[in-house]
Every structure is written in C-alpha cells, then in structure tokens.
Amino acid sequence: MSFPELIIIPPKKIAKENGHCYIINLPELEDVACSVSNPESPYQLFEGDQGLQPVNALHELIRNVGNGAHSHWCGSLLFSSSDNSDPRMNGREYSLRNTGISAEPVNYRQQRVSHEDLDGDVEYALSVGLGYWDLVKEAGITSLKGKTLMEIGPGINFGSAAILACLGADLIYVTDRFLSKWNPGYHPAFYHLLKDKMQACTESFDLTPLDQILKTGGYKSSRIAPIETQLEQLDGIPDDTIDIIFSNAVFEHLVDPVTAFRQLNRASRVGGLGFHQVDFRDHKDFDRPLEFLLFNDKDFKRLFNRCCGECGNRTRPKEMVKIAQECGFTVLNYSTNMYTENEYLEEFMPRLRKSRSRYTDWDKNDLSSISGRLYLKKKNALKPEHKSFLGKIKRLFG
C-alpha cells in the first residue's frame, strides 16, 4: 500500500487535547503510525515550510513543553505549534510530509554514488584530513612518522584517516559505535577519486596506504585499524598508546561524556594531544540550536535514545571543559567558532527560565557558544581520588 507524500491539515478538524497538545484523527494513516509494535512513523509535521521537532515525541512532552513536539500515534496526530499558540487560530498552515525519517544510524545507510556526491565526499575528506595536519603542525609537530593516531567518528568513509596514513602515520585507529562497513558499490570509487585528487595536491603524500585499500578491498595492511566500539568503552585500544586523537562533530553525540573522557585518558600517552571540534547545537533544527535544553532529563533521554544520539547530547561547553580537566587533561584552549544568533537567544532565554530543565538557570554567555574546538593534552593518568570525584561530576552532568 502506498501512502500520500503530503497531507494538509484543515484547522476545523483540529481539536484541543490537553496543555499545549492538539489532536486530529488520521485513520487512513494508522498502518504506518507509531504504535506498540512500530516505534517510528515516516511522517513529520510542518508549520508552513518549517519541519517541527521532535517527531515521535512523548505525549507528556507535547502537553507540558510543546514547541513543535508531535507524535503520529495509531489513528491520530498529537501535536503542538512552534510557539504553543493555538494552531486553529494562528493563521499558519500545518501539513504532514512523508519524510521517511528513520532511527537507523547515518553510517549504516546506503551511500550516494553519483559523481557529484562522490566528489563532495572526497572534498570533505580532504578538508578534514588536511585540516588535522594543519593543527598538528601548529602544535609544533613536523612529522607523523612513528606516531599512533586515533580518529573518532570517521563517518561513512575513512578518507581523512587515509590522508593521515599517506602523511606517514604508523597506525591510525578509526572508531565509532556505528562504524561504516565496506561497500563495494561506494568505497572503491571514493578511494580512487581521493587518490586522484591527492596526486594533484601540493602536499607530499606516500600513496601506498591508498593503493593497499584499493588492492585488498578493505583496510588490511593500510595502516588503518577500524574498531567498532563506543568511545565510552574503547574496546581493542591498548593503554597509553595514542599520540594524537582527532574528532570532528563527535563529542556532542556521546552517551556518557565522563566515561568517554576517562577512556581517552587511558588510551593516550602522557603528553598526548587531542583536537576535538564539537557542535553543541540541537541537531534537530540548526536554526533553533538550543531547543533540546528545554526538556527534563527523562524526556530528553528518551529522545536521545530514539534517534541513536543524532540529536546531540546537549552537554554545554563549560561542562565539556570541566569534564576534560577532571579526567586528567590540560585544556590548552577552547575556541568558539560559532555563536547563537542574538535575536534567537533573547527569545529563547525566557522559555528556558520557565522550563523544568536542569539548564533553567544556566549562564547565558555559555549558551551563546554553539560550536568550538577543544585542544587537549594529557597531563596524568587518573588516580583513585580523581575517579571518586568524577563519579560526582557524572551524576551532576547527567
């Protein structure tokens, strides 16, 4: 059975449910709605051209918080408007669109293989890999020979790790709790194109690791060691072995940042460096980057688990810095590279102050930083008293 791509919701059919929640009956979509046996609906609610979030929300969240939360449940749609105004009276058009939203992790989805998509993926890998190399050189390191590296969260390909291998690194661990699998329909074409573009670069590369990847159809003998593991566990990574750790838009998806930093301490050599770009925004809607701070911990945990952490864990910059310091790292620098739009922040703060979130009284200045880079250096291994204190920190931060 096929289902419509777009359904316009007539205001006259909307009824008040409770709190911020309104309801409309949609018996024709019951077969694809959320239910006890089906945790996800492919439909998302739109207010004009703006997709509202979170989808498949808890009904109590819709009633008590609202702000666009909605749930396509059994034969009905329970929803709230973006500003909790009455959708029957606010003059806006509401529609359901079949977006095919899935809880499947991005790295497990089918890669796109058009020339344009491959070219974009290669350009991105080059910018990330060479960006990592620039950071290393800025830290005073002129060669990767003899170095053991780790990249956390490499994405749908290991292009940036391959670049580091071609720059001379002895071994690069690539880790992710949802590690991308080798796809014969995508990865050979990606690495061939990456090799072609690297040959045209002014940087001097030893392309042997790329040749090995293409020859073996995988990463054996390429100096790249893929390990599917959560950062909170780091199974398969020996103690005190990593010289430099990189991550790009990973720390905001951690299930347990305190335990993750403990593991980074365990795996790093004393004096080992870490370069971590962190995106602190609500990934459901980058134009409204702080909305997930309105939820109480219970409701947010449900949302976070439902989307495999892809909404972001909402840890704030000063929390991240504090955790790193208490886990035996010196924070050499935290530099903000994206700020909240002032108009949005001014509109958001009164709503936060009225919420039941643990961020209700959070410092406004810290909320203005929504993306930045952490530059870390391992100072010492964790001592028992540090671990005891971190237990308190972990309970405090969630």
Rounded mean pLDDT, 74-83: 93
Q: Are residues 147 and 213 in the same domain?
A: yes
pTM of the model: 0.74
Confidence label for 33 from pLDDT (cuts 50, 70 and 90):
confident
pLDDT digits over 145-177, tens only?
A: 999 999 999 999 999 999 999 999 999 999 998
pLDDT digits over 104-143, tens only?
A: 567 776 788 899 999 999 999 999 999 999 999 999 999 9
Q: Is residue 107 part of a domain?
A: no
Query: Which of 56-60, 75-79, 383-387 has the least mean pLDDT?
Result: 383-387
Q: What is the CATH number of the domain that holds 186?
A: 3.40.50.150
Q: Are residues 78 and 135 in the same domain?
A: no
Q: Is residue 1 part of a domain?
A: no
Q: Which of 236, 233, 239 is nearest to 255 (CA)?
A: 233
Q: How far is CA 222 from the centre of its chain?
A: 27
Examine the pLDDT at 241 and tell me if it is beyond 90: yes
List the domain range (segments joined by +) for residue 24. Answer: 6-102
pLDDT digits over 192-236, tens only?
A: 999 999 999 989 999 999 999 999 999 988 899 999 999 999 999
Q: Are residues 36 and 141 in the same domain?
A: no
Residue located via tokens 């492919």 = 42
pLDDT (0 to 100) of residue 3: 75
Q: Is residue 262 part of a domain?
A: yes
Q: Are 334 and 372 in contact (CB under 8 A)?
A: yes
pLDDT digits over 6-23, tens only?
A: 999 999 999 999 999 999
The count of structural domains within the chain is 2
Q: Is residue 256 part of a domain?
A: yes
Q: Which of 155, 164, 70 is nearest to 106 (CA)?
A: 155
Q: Are residues 68 and 124 in the same domain?
A: no
**3-class state of residue 90 by DSSP:** coil
Residue located via tokens 């969630």 = 398
Give the separation between CA 177 and CA 234, rounded to whole angstroms.
9
Residue located via tokens 């089906």 = 38
> Of all helices (H) and strands (E), which one includes residue 217?
none
Q: Are residues 356 and 209 in the same domain?
A: yes
Confidence label for 326 from pLDDT (cuts 50, 70 and 90):
very high
> What tokens appear for 22 in the block?
């309104």
Q: Are 82 and 35 in contact (CB under 8 A)?
A: no
Examine the pLDDT at 386 and tell me if it is beyond 60: no
Q: Are 66 and 80 in contact (CB under 8 A)?
A: yes
Residues 113, 211, 171, 174, Cα dihedral to 10°: 10
Examine the pLDDT at 103 and tell me if it is beyond 70: no
Examine the pLDDT at 239 and tell me if it is beyond 80: yes
Q: Are residues 131 and 247 in the same domain?
A: yes
Q: Are residues 294 and 185 in the same domain?
A: yes
Examine the pLDDT at 388 and tell me if it is beyond 60: no
Confidence label for 330 from pLDDT (cuts 50, 70 and 90):
very high
Bridge partners of 22, per DSSP, are 16, 79
Examine the pLDDT at 365 and tell me if it is beyond 50: yes
Q: Are residues 91 and 119 in the same domain?
A: no
Rounded mean pLDDT, 89-96: 96
Query: Which of 44-53, 63-72, 281-290, 381-390 has the least mean pLDDT?
Result: 381-390
Q: Are residues 80 and 222 in the same domain?
A: no
Side chain identity, residue 342: N
Q: Are residues 97 and 231 in the same domain?
A: no
Query: Which of 42-51, 186-195, 368-377 has the least mean pLDDT?
Result: 42-51
Examine the pLDDT at 1 and tell me if it is beyond 70: no
Q: Are residues 136 and 24 in the same domain?
A: no
pLDDT (0 to 100) of residue 398: 47
Q: Are residues 126 and 214 in the same domain?
A: yes
